[in-house]
Amino acid sequence: MDTLPKSACEACPQFNANGLKKLGINTTEFDFVVALAGNPNTGKSTVFNSLTGLKQHTGNWPGKTVTRAEGGFEYNNQKFKLVDLPGTYSLLSTSEDEEVARNFILFGKPSVTIIVVDASRLERNLNLVLQVLEITDRAVLCLNLIDEAERNNIEVDTRSLARDLGIPVVATSARYYRGIPELIQTVSDLANGRIHCKPHRIKNIPENIEKAVQKLSIELKKEFPEIPNSRWIAFRLLEGDRHIIELLRKGEFVI
């Protein structure tokens, strides 16, 4: 593979920072789609701006990104399209913003999903992270606002976190561009298949639910061998998600 690094320098994100070109909203042709998910007010839009060079309005209040924003960047001659999803606490309910985020991650099939979390409020944020990891295999955790966490004397062991979640973890402070080169490198590595994830799957589920999910999931796979994520769709069917049922009936799952 010609994209493999030949020396330690080339594998280093700081060295490769020169390879970054911010493309703004020019996203006509691209090699990869990257989704940006996360709780409200974790600085998603700031991460988005620092990657794309766009100046989407940011503000310190939850929910100010009301529409899906798109932008792009080029890294080592590969073009990435970045989609900023509305901030949500969960993907399980029926509100419009959660549906947009959920369906994009499931059906938009992004090459990589960046999950932005607030390092000081990790436990609350992990709720969404674990749900996203049920849907997609290729994700990176962006442990944002790490400077605030440090000021609050909160220490996060990124290696332990990466091991438990089964995905790469990058600590960032997007406001000050800290960790952004590493984030870009990781996204590029994931997109090109140089990093393989073994995402965490929810463990603490009562046995009867787990059994039902498995049973349904097996049936789904029989019917749609190409289905993006049978386990998650089984969860949604058990929840009675009308949207998913409708898609099943239309046969629009399989691309």
**Contact between 245 and other proteins (CB under 8 A)?**
yes
Nearer to other proteins, 24 or 63 (CB): 63
**Contact between 103 and other proteins (CB under 8 A)?**
no
The site for other proteins, by CB under 8 A, has a size of 65
d(CA 215, CA 209): 10
Give φ, ψ of 178 to 5 degrees: -75, 130
Which residue of 1, 7, 77, 206 would you call a contact of other proteins, by CB under 8 A? Answer: 206
d(CA 25, CA 128): 28
Report in angstroms how near the CB of residue 158 gets to other proteins at its nearest.
Answer: 8
> Residue with structure tokens 């990869």?
32
Angle between helices 230-239 and 242-250 (to 10 degrees): 120
Other Cβ atoms within 10 Å of 40 Cβ, number: 16
**Contact between 94 and other proteins (CB under 8 A)?**
no
**Contact between 54 and other proteins (CB under 8 A)?**
no
**Contact between 252 and other proteins (CB under 8 A)?**
no
Which residue of 33, 105, 140, 165 would you call a contact of other proteins, by CB under 8 A? Answer: 165
Contacting other proteins within 104-143 (CB under 8 A): 120, 122-123, 126-127, 129-131
Which residue of 63, 107, 193, 252 would you call a contact of other proteins, by CB under 8 A? Answer: 63
With contact defined as beta carbons under 8 Å apart, do 22 and 51 qualify?
yes
With contact defined as beta carbons under 8 Å apart, do 71 and 24 qualify?
yes
d(CA 51, CA 71): 9
Which residue of 9, 239, 243, 252 would you call a contact of other proteins, by CB under 8 A? Answer: 239
Nearest to 132 by CA among 161, 155, 157, 166: 166
Give φ, ψ of 183 to 5 degrees: -65, -45
> Residue with structure tokens 């920072």?
17
Applying CB under 8 A, the residues found at the interface with other proteins are 40-41, 55, 57-64, 66-67, 89-90, 92, 95-97, 120, 122-123, 126-127, 129-131, 148, 151-158, 160-161, 164-165, 175, 200, 202-206, 208-209, 212, 215-216, 219-220, 223, 234-235, 237-240, 245, 248-249, 251
